[in-house]
Amino acid sequence: MATLKILRMGHPVLREKAKLVSLEELRSPEFQQLIQDMFATMEAYEGIGLAAPQIGISKQLAIVGIPEDNPRYPDAPETEQYVIINPIIKILDTKLQGFWEGCLSIPGLRGHVERPRKLQVDYMTLEGSTERIVVEGFVATVFQHELDHLEGKLYIDRIKDTRKLAFNEEYDSFLCPDRDKDDKNKEID
């Protein structure tokens, strides 16, 4: 397994709409290897999600997995490891919730983003079958952050109040006086 290089904001691939993955592609050894490498990369960076465009592959593919006892996300609920291919999102609850998000493609910064709090995602699994999941709370934010990458969107595009965009150190010093608070210290990938 290899740790892959992560593209940073400014790279044009991060702004492209990613292409659908075909069944043929899905079944290729290269694709299976890519998934392994993406998980290795996500773990190396202690991320909880990673989208294919972030490693320069403009395909509708993202992974999400929140491990138990991750030091970077002590309050985040543990999830299984998801491989999400060709997703279709449906918002189930339009009420917005806000979290401070970070992104491996925008290192050193975080920003407060409001997103719908509950959604349904239909997607193709690694085996080629169709799956539907319903996610809410912080996990819903993680999914929306990752699936935005497949549309060429970054979290900074969704910040309504740019005063709530900060470097990590300043965030820690000024914007997050109580780091134990549940929704104040979250990064995505």
x-or-dash pattern for Zn ion, window 91-110, by CB under 5 A? ------------x-------
- Nearest approach in angstroms of CB 189 to Zn ion is 4
DSSP 19: B
> For residues 137 and 183, what is the distance between their CA atoms, to the nearest angstrom?
10
- Structure token digits, residue 172: 């820690």
Measure Cα distances from 117 to 87, 88, 186 in Å. Answer: 18, 16, 15
Q: Which of 4, 34, 99, 189 binds Zn ion (CB under 5 A)?
A: 189
Residues 6+ apart with CB under 8 A from 187: 47, 48, 72, 73, 100, 101, 102, 103, 110
Distance in Å, CB of 52 to Zn ion, minimum: 12
- Catalytic one among 146, 151, 170, 187? 146
Which DSSP symbol is given to 59? B
Contact track, Zn ion, 74-93, x by CB under 5 A: --------------------
Closest approach of Zn ion to the CB of residue 29, in Å = 27
User: For residues 143 and 189, which CB has a smaller minimum distance to Zn ion in the complex?
Assistant: 189
* Catalytic residue status for 146: yes
- Catalytic site residues? 146
